[in-house]
Amino acid sequence: MANLNSFFQHKWETKKISDIFFFQEGPGVRKWQFRDKGIKLLNGRNINNSKLNLSNTSIYIDEEEANIKYQHFLVNEGDLVIASSGVVVNNFHNKIAFVKKEHLPLCMNTSTIRFQTLDDKISSLAFLKFFLKTIFFKAQMKRLITGSAQLNFGPSHLHKIRIPLPSLNEQIRIATILSKAENLIAKRKESIELLDELLKSTFLEMFGFTNSKYKDWKTEPLLLNTDIVSGVTKGKKYNDKNLIEAPYMRVANVQDGYFDLNEIKTIAVSQKEYEKHLLLKGDILLTEGGDPDKLGRGSVWENKIPNCIHQNHIFRVRIKSLLELNPYFLSALIGSMYGKKYFLKAAKQTTGIASINSTQLKKFPLILPPVDLQNKFAQIVEKVDSIKSKYKQSLTELENLYGTLSQRAFKGELDLSKIPIKQEPKPIAGTADITLPSMETEGAITDQKLFSNQELLKIKQQTRTLMMK
């Protein structure tokens, strides 16, 4: 850690985290101690997107046992908690959250760590929260943990981590400006989520049970209207030496309603397999397994990666006639509650993992509304996706701004003297309108206004207009 001071402005002293913050790892509560009710046990899965969500787990410990044997592991309001095991390095910034009153009572468990200040006159938990998100923290942690793309650490590692320690007022100013930037990002993400919800509600309005013509539409097995194939097998040996190196879609690339194209890998295949599995615009890709709530996960391929194929564990669904079936309608139908209900019923489930086979997919009961109505829905999808693309670009700019602010703030390169000193910034409350104060920062987006709810209302009105045509 000899070069650590080069990260920070020299006027700031660096301290061991353990010198200024208390931290504690959760106990190893065993499965036989789990209960269906009592006091909720904190799990790393509860910490996502910098928020604490206790509804996605249902593991408790007996209340009496918690208050006697594990009393010193009971979490307090205002504690800062993190996931410390099995966390992808690049996602660690999302695995940090504050505990609120509504989360209590709550007991620590393994793979989680909580922090408290040792002296709130010299250190700020909000400042620590943002430090843990920085490249400076991650760089130190990577030096301590080698040979893994995931973070698995505990108190022994944290004892070796150093943190810059400006004055308390400066800590609060840094946490304040980064909280505002973080709120902007949260609101932009909410706007994108609202557009997704708009599409879901529009689909139900057009094709759900409320449509009086619903009962008149015929239902057929998916196989009659599509060709369905699985993909190439990784590690397959070929006698043919003239192989084609092609980009391919992995399960990790196929998400619920979109493709994650940030990392594209290639695979060597024969000419025959390349031609068989070559993706065409309008194909629908679906994963065969995963968490039960993600069965039927997939989206419409728009050929953003040319000459791309797909691996096994992913089904390619290709429509036989666009005069009968629209791919955007079909993708939405499969991803709807109607589709998920079918897959959950048909799937094979083992230890929390569910999977479907090609036979079950081919039997999917396809509802066939008039193709003109399907095409209208596709027009709406195109309109919403265009707006969503602009939102995502804005989100990227905001995230870049946050990264710039964070680096410069922890290097002491920002003049934050004009930011008023108030009480410690609270965890993100939701969607309050916030603008960043203007400042001399390279690449900064200053006074950045977010899209309003009126804009979303306008989008919905435009959607309804398309539906009426």
Do 15 and 152 fall into the same domain?
Answer: yes
CATH number at residue 235: 3.90.220.20
Please report whether residue 208 resides in a domain. Answer: no
Report the pLDDT value the prediction gives residue 240, as an integer from 0 to 100: 76
Q: Helix and strand tally (H, E) in the chain?
A: 12, 26
Q: What is the DSSP letter of 69?
A: T
Average pLDDT over residues 385-412: 91
- For residues 295 and 377, give the distance between their C-alpha atoms in angstroms, rounded to a whole number: 23
Query: What domain range includes position 45?
Result: 4-165
Per-residue pLDDT band for 444 (boundaries 50, 70, 90) equals very low
CB 133 within 8 A of CB 406: yes
Do 454 and 398 fall into the same domain?
Answer: yes
Domain end (from 337, 367, 397)? 367
Please report whether residue 373 resides in a domain. Answer: no
Domain end (from 367, 393, 417)? 367
Residue scoring higher pLDDT (55 or 240): 55
Do 385 and 312 fall into the same domain?
Answer: no
CB 405 within 8 A of CB 445: no
Do 32 and 138 fall into the same domain?
Answer: yes
Q: What letter represents residue 360's amino acid?
A: Q
Do 399 and 311 fall into the same domain?
Answer: no
Please report whether residue 207 resides in a domain. Answer: no
Do 157 and 187 fall into the same domain?
Answer: no
**188-200: pLDDT as tens digits:** 999 999 998 999 9
**307-362: pLDDT as tens digits:** 999 998 899 999 999 999 999 999 999 998 889 889 888 888 776 677 888 899 99
Please report whether residue 119 resides in a domain. Answer: yes
Q: What is the DSSP letter of 185?
A: H
Domain end (from 367, 401, 434)? 367
Taking the CA atoms of the chain, what radius of gyration do you get in angstroms? Answer: 26
Number of domains in the chain: 3
Do 358 and 398 fall into the same domain?
Answer: no
Do 294 and 348 fall into the same domain?
Answer: yes
Do 405 and 463 fall into the same domain?
Answer: yes
Strand 244-249 and strand 309-310: the pairing is parallel
Please report whether residue 385 resides in a domain. Answer: yes
Please report whether residue 335 resides in a domain. Answer: yes
* Sign of the dihedral through C-alpha 371, 376, 379, 385: negative
Per-residue pLDDT band for 415 (boundaries 50, 70, 90) equals confident
Please report whether residue 425 resides in a domain. Answer: yes
Q: Quick check: pTM over 0.85?
A: no
Residue 247: which of 287, 278, 281 has the closest Cα? 278
Per-residue pLDDT band for 416 (boundaries 50, 70, 90) equals confident
Residue 456: which of 206, 188, 186 has the closest Cα? 188
Do 226 and 327 fall into the same domain?
Answer: yes
- For residues 333 and 339, give the distance between their C-alpha atoms in angstroms, rounded to a whole number: 6
Please report whether residue 133 resides in a domain. Answer: yes
Q: What is the largest CA-CA distance in the chain?
A: 75
The angle formed by the CA atoms of residues 385, 387 and 393, to the nearest 5 degrees, is: 100
Q: Which two tokens stand for residue 294?
A: 């993600």
- The side-by-side arrangement of strands in the sheet containing 353-355 is 289-290, 353-355, 348-350
Do 11 and 71 fall into the same domain?
Answer: yes
Mean confidence (pLDDT) of the chain: 84
Average pLDDT over residues 245-261: 92
Report the pLDDT value the prediction gives residue 72, as an integer from 0 to 100: 94
Do 284 and 223 fall into the same domain?
Answer: yes
Please report the beta strands in 322-364, taking only residues with DSSP state E, as ranges in sequence order. Answer: 348-350, 353-355
CB 278 within 8 A of CB 245: no
Residue 410: which of 160, 137, 182, 183 has the closest Cα? 137
**165-185: pLDDT as tens digits:** 999 999 999 999 999 999 999
